[in-house]
């Protein structure tokens, strides 16, 4: 059950409305007018909760659930316990995500953290030339610099710093202790606490008698509906801009170097690093702890397995893994052969023969 100190739901929703808005079908005989108050896991849900089954690992919990309703694939409907209303979907997890958004809309867009929405707190510092839209929340200790612009209904979290000249679109969430400089942020962007955007890229002309700093003269452009996880860093470009594409989701503790271009709707998972001037096409997936060398291209739809080290361009739609990253089938064959070699050495006492 969700803790109401942190998560507030909207008014109850009817099964008919939920089904319509998430694209599910109600099982025959379901009472469309029955209402629910929220969502909950299978093993904790009560008669006023909506749950879901997407992974057969939890089929046992589904068969015993006390949920009032459950989203499930049609082929598992017959395993539902008596009295549980069913919403049938070919993609139960996606349907559940949409339903949870209906009940908890603030968790989709980012809620204020201080508890006083729509005001500029007296302890915040807003430069007289900054433009603040209608309904903007500026929490305690936040600083907004000269000429900055913040769109309507955006939340600026406590102690966030928006440097001079930056623009932030409407309905954004800028988490506490975030810093933004040399950047333009689109609409409905979520920046979780501690994100750093627009600082110097790591650019030096190396050599004797000393390494000379190269001024970083580009910007960071974050397009609409992007989400960037806590303590991730995105450097501004050296001349070209660093670009984060529309709808891209970046996890916590990710580093994006200068001049990087990330396409639309990419997924970049925790502790990944993308070196300067690399380019990612649309719908690219980088799993956890991937390393991407600079000045290469990972083309549209490609996927890199966890801990992969990308040192060459990756063709569109391909799956790569390993160090250095290679087509995933080839990498898996190599892993199998290495295991066989290890077993043979163990059986022969470590002999090379």
Sequential DSSP letters for 78-116: GGSPTT-EEEE-SSHHHHHHHHHHHH-THHHH---SSS-
Provide the 8-state DSSP code for 149. Answer: E
221 beta partners: 184, 243
pLDDT recorded at residue 343:
85
φ and ψ at residue 235, rounded to 5 degrees: -75, 145
pLDDT of residue 351: 56
Burial (CB count within 10 angstroms: exposed 0-12, middle 13-18, buried 19+), residue 209: exposed
Helix locations, the chain, DSSP H? 15-22, 59-64, 92-103, 106-109, 328-347
- pLDDT in single tens digits along all 353 residues of the chain: 688 888 888 889 999 999 999 999 999 999 999 999 999 999 999 999 999 999 999 999 999 999 999 999 999 999 999 999 999 999 999 999 999 999 999 888 888 999 999 999 999 999 999 999 999 999 999 999 999 999 999 999 999 999 999 999 999 999 999 999 999 999 999 999 999 999 999 999 999 999 999 999 999 999 999 999 999 999 999 999 999 999 999 999 999 999 999 999 999 999 999 999 999 999 999 999 999 999 999 999 999 999 999 999 999 999 999 999 999 999 999 999 988 888 887 777 765 54
How many angstroms from the chain centroid is the CA of residue 337? 36
Q: Per the residue annotation, which of 73, 127, 258, 295 is the catalytic one?
A: 258
CA 132 – CA 198 distance, rounded (Å): 21
CB-facing half-sphere around the CA of 314: CA atoms within 13 A: 33
Beta bridge partners of 191: 174, 228
CA separation for the pair 236, 222 (Å, rounded): 11
Coil vs helix vs strand at 343 = helix
Does the annotation count 265 as an active-site position?
Answer: no
**Do the Cβ atoms of 313 and 292 come closer than 8 Å?**
no
Q: Which two tokens stand for residue 60?
A: 């046992």
Long-range contacts of 38-43 (CB under 8 A, 24+ apart): 38/2, 38/9, 38/103, 38/104, 39/96, 39/99, 39/100, 39/103, 39/104, 40/1, 40/2, 40/67, 42/67, 42/70
Torsion angle of the four alpha carbons 208, 296, 232, 251, in this order, in degrees rounded to the nearest 10: -160
pLDDT of residue 1: 63
CB-neighbour burial class of residue 223 (10 A; exposed 0-12, middle 13-18, buried 19+): buried
Residue 88 is predicted with a pLDDT of 98
CA distance 260 to 274: 7
């Amino acid at each position: 059950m969700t803790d109401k100190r942190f998560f507030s739901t909207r008014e109850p929703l009817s099964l008919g409305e939920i089904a319509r808005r998430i694209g599910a079908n109600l099982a025959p005989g379901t009472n469309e007018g029955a209402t629910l108050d929220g969502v909950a896991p299978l093993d904790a849900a009560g008669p006023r909760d909506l749950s879901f089954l997407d992974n057969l690992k939890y089929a046992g919990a589904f068969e015993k659930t006390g949920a009032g309703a459950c989203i499930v694939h049609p082929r598992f409907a017959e395993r539902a316990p008596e009295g549980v209303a069913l919403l049938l979907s070919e993609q139960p997890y996606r349907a559940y995500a949409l339903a949870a958004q209906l009940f908890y809309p603030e968790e989709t867009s980012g809620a204020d953290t201080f508890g006083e929405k729509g005001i500029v707190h007296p302890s915040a510092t807003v430069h007289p030339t900054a433009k603040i839209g209608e309904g903007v929340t500026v929490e305690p200790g936040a600083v907004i610099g000269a000429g900055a612009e913040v769109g309507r209904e955006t939340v600026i979290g406590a102690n966030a710093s928006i440097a001079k000249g930056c623009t932030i679109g409407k309905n954004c969430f800028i988490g506490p202790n975030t810093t933004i400089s040399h950047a333009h942020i689109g609409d409905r962007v979520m920046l979780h606490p501690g994100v750093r955007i627009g600082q110097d890229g790591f650019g030096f002309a190396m050599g004797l008698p000393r390494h000379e700093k190269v001024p970083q003269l580009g910007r960071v452009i974050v397009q609409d509906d992007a989400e960037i996880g806590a303590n991730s860093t995105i450097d501004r470009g050296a001349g070209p801009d660093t670009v984060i594409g529309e709808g891209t989701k970046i996890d916590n503790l990710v580093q994006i170097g200068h001049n990087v271009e990330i396409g639309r709707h990419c997924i970049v998972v925790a502790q990944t690093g993308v070196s300067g001037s690399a380019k990612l096409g649309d719908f690219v997936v980088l799993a956890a702890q991937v390393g991407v060398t600079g000045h290469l291209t990972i083309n549209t739809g490609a996927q890199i397995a966890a801990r992969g080290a990308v040192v060459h361009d990756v063709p569109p739609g391909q799956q790569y893994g390993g160090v250095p990253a290679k087509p995933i089938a080839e990498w898996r064959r190599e892993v199998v052969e290495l295991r066989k070699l290890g077993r043979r050495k163990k059986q022969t006492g470590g002999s090379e023969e």
